[in-house]
Amino acid sequence: MSKSMILLASFAVAAYAAGPAIVPAEFKSNQTLLPAYISLSYELSGFPSFAGTKSSPNQYSVNLLQNIAKYQGDMPRARVGGNSQDRAIYDATLQTPTASRCSADPLAIQCIGPSFFDSYGAFPSTKYSHGFNEAWNNASGLSTLEATVPLACKAIGPDQLETWEFGNEPDLFIGKWRPNNWNETHYVAEWQNGTKKIFELFQQHCPELATPVKFNFMAPSVSSPGSKLKPVTIFNNGEDTENIIKQISVHNYITGVNSPGVTLQNSLMNHASTVNSINNHVNTAKSLATIPGLEKVPYIQGEENSLYGGGRAGLSNVYGSALWVLDYVLQAASTGVIKRLHFHQSLGASYSAWYPVGVNATTNPTYYGKLAAAVFMGKSEERYVLPLPDAVNSSFESAYAGYDAKTGRLNRLAVINMNEFNSTQAANTRESKTYEFMVPSSTWKVERLTAPGADVTTGVTFGGYAYEYATLGKPEAVVRRTEVLAVVGARTLKVTVPASEAAILTRL
């Protein structure tokens, strides 16, 4: 946000605290986001189930992804990695894509076989990043690198490549795969040594990818901005001396599944908690941008979600978390410096947006939060987002304006009323609030993200549509109603939103 905008915003608070929030009719920022703002990260071990194979894709997953692509103009990027990336040992004799044991290494707890790589290309028009194992310091790990680089580079190829990754959350190697005194200097030396080896393997097996443009990484993929391996120290120690880092990736979770005091209202349906979590990244991103050579390297969250440890049933898999997803995306986008998000997906994890296969195949509420966010964002590379703190009264609510980056014109509004309402409460006790915005004379289409209560795992709709497994993720009309609002009186737009509901407004 530019300095003049900050001044304008604080002026609005002072002068109009009791009235409708002033929404600038035009806004321009100097910060451009990456395309596919809403992207995904797949735990490597579960990726084959989410994706299927190139010759037999998981059509349910493809449909769900294409719904998002329809709005954001781009398929979510597929980052394949996570904890299992650093456990993955390759076994050429495996008949399945993954296994928990294999003959290549009797001590391995995660194995992958040749058919693992058949999953790349299953999602159409999608760019992928594959994460190589860094944690090994044994013979089977070295053979894994030597065997999987050729397989990955051939399976992904130049057209589907987003970037590569070497190591996931290396800060958590300390005291586990690495000694307690392992620090940024050791990490940087190891990362550079490993990526050099990967480059040599590319030269041998995929020379078309061993070029300055195509050979690049997301890194350092530490678990949080406050990681034991400090991102700023990592880069000050020369991580990117070869200029091969395409995206600075730092992971984020709001808190853990077993953290004291974690509840929907305290931790997720809570704008202050979301802002606080995101601000740690903004500070890190800004510090990194002052390091010579990093000024133009985009900062992303290559893996993020609600609660680390897979999410918690009753919190991460309920509709209240869909409101969190929406608030999280819009707040992160409004910073301008967090250029893309990868929501993490893992088989059976309650924070996954959907379960892709088997008897439990289902669309989780958080999928709907991503869809609502995609409708607000449109093409993220053409979107500026401005938070509207004057429009709301408490940290259980948030509001945003969206601008077309090309013209600076206001064309989206969002209101997220995160006051917790449970489906177990009487429906007639669900309180609504009316939010007022001062905008130019205009009419707006309203699409609501709603469900019977914050606690439900099913029955969610966005814009009156469901996207469930029964229709293989294709839209099914549930509520047939087109809602249009117009500015009345003194340029005021009034939007009424019940507790635990959000509205996305698109200017007509």
Ligand X SMILES: *[C@@H]1O[C@H](CO)[C@@H](O)[C@H](O)[C@H]1NC(C)=O
**Catalytically annotated residues:** 184, 303
Q: Which stretch binds ligand X (CB under 6 A): 191-199, 244-252, 327-335, 371-379?
A: 191-199
The CB-of-486 to ligand X minimum distance in angstroms stands at 19
Piece in contact with ligand X (CB under 6 A), picked from 113-121, 136-144, 152-160, 211-219: 136-144
17 with 390: CB under 8 angstroms? yes
341 closest CA partner among 76, 156, 121, 163: 76
Instruction: Kindly identify the residues of this chain, within the stretch 12-41, that bind ligand X according to CB under 6 A.
Output: 30-31
Residue 110's DSSP bridge partners are 88
Residues from 332 through 351 that contact ligand X (CB under 6 A): 348
Distance in Å, CB of 219 to ligand X, minimum = 15
Tokens of residue 503, six digits: 């509205």
- The order of strands in the sheet holding 492-498 is 21-22, 432-438, 492-498
Looking at the Cβ atoms of 367 and 437, the one nearer to ligand X is 437
Task: Report, in angstroms and rounded to the nearest whole number, the Rg of the chain calculated over CA atoms.
Answer: 23
For the CB of residue 295, give the shortest distance to ligand X in the complex, in Å.
Answer: 8
Do 414 and 500 meet the contact criterion of CB atoms below 8 Å apart? no
What phi and psi values does residue 249 have, to the nearest 5 degrees? -115, 125
From residue 41, alpha-carbon distances to 91, 129, 426 in Å are: 24, 9, 38
The nearer residue to ligand X, 126 or 273, going by C-beta atoms, is 273
3-state helix, strand, coil in the chain (%, to 5): 30, 25, 40
CB of residue 83 to ligand X, shortest distance in Å: 11
What Å distances lie between residue 260 and 256, 277, 314, CA to CA?
9, 16, 15
426 belongs to the binding site for ligand X (CB under 6 A): no
Is 279 among the residues that bind ligand X (CB under 6 A)? no
How far apart are alpha carbons 71 and 56 in whole angstroms? 25
Please tell me whether residue 395 binds ligand X under the rule CB under 6 A: no
Of residues 107 and 426, the one with the C-beta less far from ligand X: 107
Name the token pair of 473: 């993720």
Name the DSSP class of 133: P
Among 66, 143, 183, 395, binds ligand X (CB under 6 A): 183
- What element of type H or E holds 401? strand 397-404
- Output the smallest distance, CB 235 to ligand X, in A: 11
Per-residue 3-state assignment (H helix, E strand, C coil) for 241-283: CCCCEEEEEECEEEEECCCCCCCHHHHHCCHHHHHHHHHHHHH
Among 422, 457, 458, 496, binds ligand X (CB under 6 A): 422
499 near 393, Cβ under 8 Å?
A: no
Stretch that binds ligand X, among 184-192, 216-224, 378-386, 488-496 (CB under 6 A): 184-192
Of 42-50, 302-310, 355-363, 372-380, the segment contacting ligand X by CB under 6 A is 355-363
Compute the distance between CA of residue 54 and CA of residue 57 in angstroms, rounded to an integer.
Answer: 6
Please, which of residues 205-244 interact with ligand X by CB under 6 A? 233, 237
**Of 6, 7, 142, 484, which one interacts with ligand X (CB under 6 A)?**
142
Nearer to ligand X, 67 or 223 (CB): 223
Q: Does 432 bind ligand X (CB under 6 A)?
A: no
Cβ of residue 206: shortest distance to ligand X, in angstroms?
17
Query: Shortest gap between Cβ of 115 and ligand X (angstroms)?
Result: 20
How far apart are the C-alpha atoms of 382 and 404, rounded to whole Å? 6
Contact between 358 and ligand X per CB under 6 A: yes
Stretch that binds ligand X, among 5-13, 135-143, 164-172, 297-305 (CB under 6 A): 135-143
Instruction: Report in angstroms how near the CB of residue 27 gets to ligand X at its nearest.
Output: 13
| Residue among 71, 68, 122, 63 at smallest CA distance from 474 | 63
Using rule CB under 6 A, residue 203 touches ligand X: no
Both tokens assigned to 424: 């177990």
Binding pattern for the stretch 93-132 against ligand X, x by CB under 6 A and - elsewhere: ------------x-xxx-----------------------
Q: For the segment 445-464, give every residue that binds ligand X (CB under 6 A).
A: 455
Q: How many residues bind ligand X (CB under 6 A)?
A: 40
- What are the backbone dihedrals phi and psi of residue 256, each rounded to the nearest 5 degrees, phi first? -100, 165
Binding site for ligand X (CB under 6 A): 2-3, 30-31, 86-87, 89, 105, 107-109, 133, 135-136, 138, 140-142, 181, 183-185, 190, 193-194, 197, 233, 237, 263, 348, 358-360, 392-393, 420, 422, 433, 435, 455
